[in-house]
């Protein structure tokens, strides 16, 4: 893909976790953030946010670019704090995920990509647990008819302006007795981060919190996150 883009005259921005990689060596503009697989999701969100903020600065549409970048310097330590705060609860969340045959996974705003990824890439691909990822804005177009007592709904809540859509799902599932599990970034404190940056970075917060749940889930189910039946194992 990189070679094809370059051959056609495209400028390539590469987001990598390792500089000495084909993408790291071949991009015109390379953003390197040295991470392990366990924290790669957070890295993608941070790198993408940096690009978006840079474009806004270039267009003259953001006044506090430097202030936001200064805040972001503390994110590695903030993520460690979040993992420590989640750890006492992580085993219980893992038990909830393990004790249901399938889950409705939902979120709104910039929390939605992480909800979709966690349902498909972690619960389905890495744990073989059936899920139905559904955006909170579409939850009431059919999916809510599936909710009854005992049906698991995993709701991820961020802090951007689309949060009310997630809160609407939360009210409904609670009212009909669904088995609701909520992971809310607002429940986890940070030091010195503005509300604006917390809203921007909510999906990365969710990814770092969910990583601790996944670590317990693979032990509880005796199913390592690296175990696959088909992915990169058969032709498809």
Q: Which CATH number fits domain 75-220: 3.30.70.250, 3.40.50.10490, 3.30.70.260, 3.40.50.150?
A: 3.40.50.10490
Instruction: Give me the residue spans of the domains in the chain.
Output: 2-67, 75-220
Asked whether residue 195 carries a pLDDT value surpassing 90, the answer given is: yes
Interatomic CA distance for residues 229 and 176, integer angstroms = 37
Q: How many CB atoms are located within 10 Å of the residue 31 CB?
A: 18
Residue 15 and residue 31 in contact, taking contact as beta carbons nearer than 8 Å: yes
Q: Taking the complete model, does pTM exceed 0.75, yes or no?
A: yes
pLDDT tens digits for range 128-143: 999 999 999 999 999 9
What is the predicted pLDDT for the residue at 34? Answer: 87
Confidence at 206, pLDDT banded by 50, 70, 90: very high
Integer Cα distance of 163 and 160 in angstroms: 6
């Amino acid at each position: 893909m990189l070679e094809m883009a370059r051959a056609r005259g495209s400028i390539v921005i590469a987001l990598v976790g390792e500089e000495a990689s084909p993408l790291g060596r071949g991009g015109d503009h390379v953003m390197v953030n040295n991470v392990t697989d366990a924290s790669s999701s957070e890295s993608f969100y941070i790198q993408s946010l940096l690009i978006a903020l840079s474009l806004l600065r270039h267009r003259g549409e953001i006044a506090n670019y430097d202030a936001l970048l200064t805040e972001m310097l503390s994110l590695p330590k903030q993520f460690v704090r979040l993992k420590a705060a989640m750890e006492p609860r992580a085993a219980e969340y893992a038990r909830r995920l393990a004790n249901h045959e399938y889950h409705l996974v939902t979120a709104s705003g910039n929390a939605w990509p992480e909800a979709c990824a966690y349902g498909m890439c972690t619960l389905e691909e890495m744990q073989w647990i059936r899920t139905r990822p559904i955006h909170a804005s579409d939850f009431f177009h059919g999916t809510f008819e599936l909710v009854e007592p005992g049906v698991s709904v995993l709701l991820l809540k961020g802090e951007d302006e689309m949060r009310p859509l997630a809160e609407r799902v939360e009210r409904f599932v609670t009212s009909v007795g669904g088995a609701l599990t909520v992971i809310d970034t607002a429940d986890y404190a940070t030091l010195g981060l503005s509300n604006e940056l917390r809203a921007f970075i909510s999906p990365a917060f969710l990814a770092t919190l969910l990583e601790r749940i996944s670590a317990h889930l693979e032990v509880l189910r005796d199913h390592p996150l690296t175990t696959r039946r088909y992915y990169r194992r058969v032709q498809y």
